[in-house]
Amino acid sequence: MASSINNSAWLEWMAQLMGGVSRQTCAATFPPDRFYCLLDELPLHLVPRPALAAESQDAGRALFLNPQCRLYVGEGLPGELASRKELLSAFALQGTIAWVRDATDSLVPFWLGPKLESVVRQLRIDEPIPESVPAWARSILESAGILVYADSIAHQRTEREEALGRAAELFRKKGYAPVRGLIHPFHIAALRRYYRHRIRTGRISLGDGQSSRRYAAYNDPVARFFHRQIEVSLSSVAGEPVKLSYVYLASYLSGAELRKHIDREQCEFSITLCLDFSPEPALATPWPIRLDTPTGTVTVYQALGDGLAYRGTRLPHYRSPLGKGQRPLQFSSITWRRILRHRWTRRLELVQFVGSGAGPQRLKARLHAFLRRG
């Protein structure tokens, strides 16, 4: 997944964002209670800092329009999403949206304002982008995966597969595994804006059965969309196909705590993803989750966008109370469960997986999972 922005292009981009009458004029046409990720006018202060800090290593190489990027206007949707409109019920389906297939084969949306749309519409798939495309536009479109290098799609897939293979190995051995990069940093920023607005305007209620000090939402449609996007990655980490059960969004207030508990039986695998935190963290947030494992307590600090997969039914987990004066923070806790399949079905799937060209680490993790369950 492309996620870094070249520093010089970043400065140019900042300058054009801050300049004159063009500032945030397009975003103002979007309903604030809908989800959108408008590349021309991203909420930069909400993009996780590490994603903005890294220098591009590919300066000077030819960029191309991603052949797996398609533009749709208004409520037009890629065919495979047409039957899942309920997941998009809170999206601002207006203007031009670039749907891009990412390294895990999921389709992710980026909204284009007039400036970037005019840039993208003049590009042809098999030709390097012209030098007339400004550096800021090139950098943003590259970070979103709309522009790619000749070998970057294959490279990103290999990187992703290796990272998931390492996570799967750790998950198999320890029952937990940190997983980074599940959601694009630009979408993290857009989600932060969206959920902050929903909480500020009272659309997410305060208090649930577990805590009176957190805003909570069950199966919010935008959260469900991203839950579906990361299904492939979660199955890879679990080492077997899993069925998504539900997604729970919780935004904690100072004084809140998460008492030690294990999850319900149907929540065999869980992932908690750090979506937001105030004040803005430079790296990891100061509110770690703790897991009691057979070999001792593990403390896991997360940065914005970091996920932690764990066996919620086996490993007791908890967080200490937030200190006085700490400001609200948001976490998205996602849970999913194993797909129960007949033994012969699982054997057939294993054969298909072996033939899919997956890397050795993923093959090893998958084989271990099969042998464990038979």
Q: Applying CB under 5 A, which residues contact Fe ion?
A: 263
Q: Which is nearer to Fe ion, 220 or 268 (CB)?
A: 268
Question: Minimum distance from CB of 339 to Fe ion (Å)?
Answer: 21
Nearer of residues 156 and 285 to Fe ion, judged by Cβ: 285
User: Please, what is the minimum distance in Å from the beta carbon of residue 271 to Fe ion?
Assistant: 11
Q: Which amino acid is at 89?
A: S
- Rounded to whole angstroms, the Cα distance separating 215 from 230 reads 24
Minimum distance, C-beta of residue 4 to Fe ion, in the bound complex (Å): 33
* CA dist 105 → 80, 158, 161 (Å): 12, 13, 12
H/E stretch holding 271: strand 269-277
Nearest to 271 by CA among 309, 232, 217: 309
CB of 285 to Fe ion, least distance (A): 18
Output 10 or 269, the one with its CB closest to Fe ion.
Answer: 269
Tokens of residue 311, six digits: 């066996």
Distance between CA atoms of residues 53 and 282, nearest Å: 11
Distance CA 196, CA 33 (A): 10
Cα 291 to chain centroid distance, Å, stands at 23
Nearest residue (CB) to Fe ion, 263 versus 276: 263
Q: In terms of CB distance, is 186 or 331 closer to Fe ion? A: 331
Q: Return the residue nearest Fe ion (CB atom).
A: 263
Which CB sits closer to Fe ion, 142 or 263? 263
In the sheet with 329-338, reading across from the earlier edge strand, the strands are: 176-179, 307-310, 269-277, 329-338, 242-252, 214-218
Shortest CB 264 distance to Fe ion, Å: 9
Extract the tokens encoding 214. Answer: 């957190």
**How far apart are the C-alpha atoms of 283 and 285, rounded to whole Å?**
7
| Shortest reach from residue 323's CB to Fe ion, in Å | 22
